């Protein structure tokens, strides 16, 4: 996510998360027509979802978690994401979506 953040728009800091079977894709664009694509292996239950977030808020939430595996709970492209550690309920973070 940090690599994609480098090429995100400086004003909005937006990145798009796209889901597909077994994969999470992180996409960032900027006004200079530069683009970043990062693909992660992920267990997904929602296929074809694309949702935008401020990458700084996502990085802050992920940085506060101690585990290596996290759960992103998404409902649809207009809803917030709940971020927590896979094996712990002690810490939960909510990040609101960004329209890109």
Residues 15-27: pLDDT tens digits?
999 999 999 999 9
Q: Residue 40: what pLDDT?
A: 94
pLDDT tens-digit series, residues 23-66: 999 999 998 888 999 999 999 998 899 999 999 999 999 999 99
The pair phi, psi for residue 12, each rounded to 5°, is -100, -20
Residues 6+ apart with CB under 8 A from 75: none
Position 87 pLDDT exceeds 80: yes
pLDDT interval class at 83 (50, 70, 90): very high
Q: In the β-sheet with 50-54, what is the strand arrangement from edge to edge? A: 35-41, 23-29, 14-20, 50-54
- Listed by start position, the domains of the chain span 2-95
Give the dihedral of Cα atoms 31, 15, 97, 1; nearest 10 deg.
-150
User: Which helix H or strand E contains 23, and what residues bound it?
Assistant: strand 23-29
Q: What is the pLDDT of residue 89?
A: 86
For domain 2-95, give its CATH number from 2.40.50.140, 3.30.310.10, 3.40.980.10, 3.10.150.10.
3.10.150.10
């Amino acid at each position: 996510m940090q690599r994609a953040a480098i090429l995100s728009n400086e004003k909005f800091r937006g990145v798009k998360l796209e889901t597909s079977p077994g994969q999470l894709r992180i996409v960032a664009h900027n006004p200079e027509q530069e683009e970043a694509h990062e693909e992660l292996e992920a267990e997904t239950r929602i296929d074809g979802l694309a949702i935008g977030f401020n990458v700084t808020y996502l990085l802050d939430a992920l940085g506060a978690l101690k585990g290596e595996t996290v759960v992103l709970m998404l409902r649809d492209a207009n809803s917030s994401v709940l971020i927590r550690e896979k094996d712990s309920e002690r810490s939960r973070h909510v990040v609101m979506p960004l329209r890109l």
